[in-house]
Amino acid sequence: MKETVIDAHNLSKIYDEKTIPVYALNNVHLHIQRGEFTAIKGPSGSGKTTLLNMIGGLDNPSGGFVEINDTNITALKGNRLIDFRLNNIGFVFQSYNLIPVLTAKENIEFIMLLQNRPKEEREKRVAELLKQIGMEDKVDKRPVELSGGQQQRVAVARALAPKPQFILADEPTANLDSIAAENLLDVMLKLNKEENITFVFSTHDQRVINRARRVITLEDGKIVADTAPTKIEHLLYEK
């Protein structure tokens, strides 16, 4: 039996409610199971980032609610919500993902430090992830000394380090060239398979869409399609 990790019920986000209401999200229902590799696509302004922000507890919906493993995160406020994010959700942003004054190793370790995990556990996990993302030789490099692709791989490793319930990635390949984007996707797919981590992306990038197990299409704040890519597309793009 599959386990539901993300359960979004009737999610709406309305801007300028009192004047001319603009629906960023309009009555969205979404259920994501553990281990899914899901892409949310759609044109600019379709509500992809808004949906991700709601799922991640970064923004409050105007209507509806989000449950993560049966916890209604829409009802959580302040530091309780921040602590929930810390212990359950991993984030990968589009760019400038890392803390500029920390090294690659320190960035990966950062969330575990906030969680007060023991030093041995942190070091073991960081070493494991550095190996998985193929960056053992860049341990002491600061973000400014890394390429965009390397920075995103460190960001994925940081998100994965505390073994969260799922990872939300907002257009993670948007600023990467095709090789770096492919490398990043390889790393994420590998981690998805090996650690059964749930990934949810928002993306415009056809390469990401093609390699996703499930593709959700948003238009004008509504889900207009929710499909898996064809077997032929998988065979073409998945390595």
Partner 1 sequence: MSVLTKIARRNIWRSKKRSLIIMIAVSIGLWAGIFMIAFYNGMIEQRINSAITSELSHIQLHHAMFRKEYEIKYELPEGKKMLEMISNDPDIKASAGRIIIKGMIASASGSNGITINGVMPKEEHLLTKLPDKIIEGKYFDNHQTNEILISKKISKKLKINLNKKAIVTFQDKEGNLASIAFRVCGIYKTINGPYDDANVFVKINAIDSLAGIPNSLNEIAILLQSNSTLDNNQKKLQQNFPNIEIKNWKEIAPELGLTVSVGNQMAYILMGIILLALAFGIINTMMMSVLERTWEIGMLLALGMNKFKIFVMIVLETIFLILIGCPLGLLLALTTIVVTNHRGIDFSKYTEVYSSFGYKSVIYPSLTMGQFGIIMLLVVFTALFSAIFPAIRALKINPAESLKK
154 near 124, Cβ under 8 Å?
A: no
Q: Nearer to partner 1 by C-beta: 122 or 138?
A: 122
Residue given tokens 């505390």 in the structure block = 162
Instruction: State the binding string over 92-131 for partner 1 (x if CB under 8 A, else -).
Output: -x--xx-xxxx---x---xx-xxx----------------
Give min distance, CB of 196 to partner 1, in A.
22
Task: Print the SS3 string covering 96-165.
Answer: CCCCCCCCHHHHHHHHHHHCCCCHHHHHHHHHHHHHHCCCHHHCCCCHHHCCHHHHHHHHHHHHHCCCCC
Instruction: State the binding string over 63-82 for partner 1 (x if CB under 8 A, else -).
Output: ---------------xx--x
State which of positions 134-173 bind partner 1 (CB under 8 A). Answer: 158, 170
Residue 14, CA distances (Å) to 28, 55, 135 in order: 12, 16, 43
CA 8 – CA 5 distance, rounded (Å): 10
Give min distance, CB of 118 to partner 1, in A.
14
CA 210 – CA 234 distance, rounded (Å): 7
Q: Nearer to partner 1 by C-beta: 54 or 212?
A: 54
Establish if 59 lies at the interface with partner 1 (CB under 8 A): yes
Establish if 219 lies at the interface with partner 1 (CB under 8 A): no
Q: Nearer to partner 1 by C-beta: 55 or 135?
A: 55
64 near 27, Cβ under 8 Å?
A: yes
Establish if 91 lies at the interface with partner 1 (CB under 8 A): yes
Q: Nearer to partner 1 by C-beta: 23 or 93?
A: 93
Amino acid at 33: Q
Site of interaction with partner 1 (CB under 8 A) = 49, 53, 56, 58-59, 78-79, 82-83, 85-87, 89, 91, 93, 96-97, 99-102, 106, 110-111, 113-115, 158, 170
